[in-house]
């Protein structure tokens, strides 16, 4: 099928099987590889992107669901030169070890803060627990989210 949607502000149209997940459209068709593959079954969260402003697991969104959708990936959230406040906080806190999960962590955190600018510790734990980090950077993820809250409040 022809799937037409917007990625990071740019209109895209791809000819793919209707059940191809957005993850693989982004990675192997469009070439946006900041969004990662980890499990394929919504258990790890490394493929998290924003779809019409909501954090979704892109391995679970199919081509036929994409028509007209606005997708933001990690590349569209901010850039090395113009970082999103959550990315600034992540960099200042030096969260990453291997870094493979961090695109998903950051997209999830940015979505959470956009909807709830001052989440409680329990809310942070609940929202972020769908995103696995095998290196165990969780203490720094919490710290970075607290810093991002400060930055966005400032």
Partner 1 sequence: MGKLRTLTRRTFLIGSATVAGGVAFGVYRAKVPFENPNLAALPEGAASFNPWVIVDAEKVTFIAPLADKGQGVFSAQAALIAEELDIELDQVEISFGMPDKAYMNGALTDAMVPFPQYDYGKVAEGARRFAGGVVRAALPIMGTGGSSAMPDSYDKLREAGAVARETLKAAASQQTGVPIGDLRTENGAVLLPDGTALSYTSLAAAAAQIEPVTDVPLRDPSQWRILGKPMERVDIIAKSTGTLPYGIDYKTEGLLFATVKVNPRQGGSLISYDATAALAMDGISDVFEITGGIAVVANNTWTAIQAANAVTCEWGTAGYPPEQDAHWATLSAAFTDDKVNAEARNIGDVDAAPGAEVIAEYRSPYVAHAPLEPLNATILVSDDRVDIWTGHQLQMFAVDMVAKITGVNEDNVHLHNQFIGGSFGHRLEFDFLKQAAEIAVKMPGTPVKMTYSREEDFAHDFPRHITMGRGIGKHENGKVTSLDVQIAGQSVMTSQISRLGFSLPGPDTQLHEGAWDYPNLNLPNIRVRSYKETGLAPVSSWRSVGAAPNGFIYDTLLDETIHAAGADPLMERIRLMGHDVSVKVLETVGEMCGWNGHDLGAGRGRGVAYVFSFGVPVATIVEVTQTERGIRLDEVWVAADVGQVIDPVNLENLAQGGTLFGLGHAMNCEITYSDGMAQQSNYHDHEAMRLYQAPKVHFTALENNPKIKGFGEPPVPPAAPALGNAIFAATGQRIRELPFNKHIDFV
Q: Which residues bind partner 1 (CB under 8 A)?
A: 16-17, 20-21, 23-24, 27-29, 31, 33-41, 43-44, 46, 73-75, 78-80, 83, 87, 90-91, 94-103, 106, 124-126, 128-142
Q: Minimum Å distance from CB 93 to partner 1?
A: 9
Smallest gap from Cβ 11 to partner 1, in A, equals 21
Tokens of 88: 């600034």
From the CB of 53, what's the least distance to partner 1, in Å?
19
Helix (H, G, I), strand (E, B) or coil at 104: helix
Please, where are the H alpha helices in the chain?
Answer: 22-24, 74-77, 85-93, 102-115, 121-128, 138-153
**Strand, coil or helix: what is 43?**
coil
Minimum Å gap between C-beta 145 and partner 1 is: 10
Nearer to partner 1, 44 or 66 (CB): 44
> Is the Cβ of residue 34 or residue 65 nearer to partner 1 in the bound state?
34
Pull the structure tokens for residue 111: 């979505």
Helices (H), 26-101: 74-77, 85-93
In whole angstroms, how close is the CB of 131 to partner 1 at the nearest point?
7
Residue number with CB closer to partner 1 (70 or 75): 75
Mapping DSSP to helix (H, G, I), strand (E, B) and coil, where does residue 48 land? strand
Q: 3-state SS of the chain: helix, strand, coil percent to 5?
A: 40, 15, 45
Could you tell me how far CA 73 lies from the centroid of its own chain? 6
Residue closer to partner 1, measured from CB, 5 or 137: 137
- For partner 1, which is the closer residue by CB, 9 or 136? 136
């Amino acid at each position: 099928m022809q799937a037409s949607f917007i990625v990071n502000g740019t209109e895209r149209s791809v000819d793919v099987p209707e059940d191809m997940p957005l993850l693989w459209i982004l990675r192997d068709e469009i070439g946006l590889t900041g969004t990662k593959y980890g499990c394929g079954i919504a258990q790890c969260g490394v493929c998290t992107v924003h779809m019409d402003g909501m954090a979704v697991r892109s391995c679970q969104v199919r081509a036929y669901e994409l028509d007209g959708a606005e997708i933001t990936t990690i590349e569209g959230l901010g850039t090395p030169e113009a970082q999103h406040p959550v990315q600034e906080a992540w960099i200042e806190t030096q969260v990453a070890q291997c870094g493979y999960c961090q695109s998903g962590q950051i997209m999830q955190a940015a979505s959470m803060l956009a909807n709830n600018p001052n989440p409680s510790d329990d809310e942070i734990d609940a929202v972020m627990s769908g995103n696995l980090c095998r290196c165990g950077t969780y203490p720094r993820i919490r710290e970075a989210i607290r810093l991002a809250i400060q930055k966005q409040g400032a």
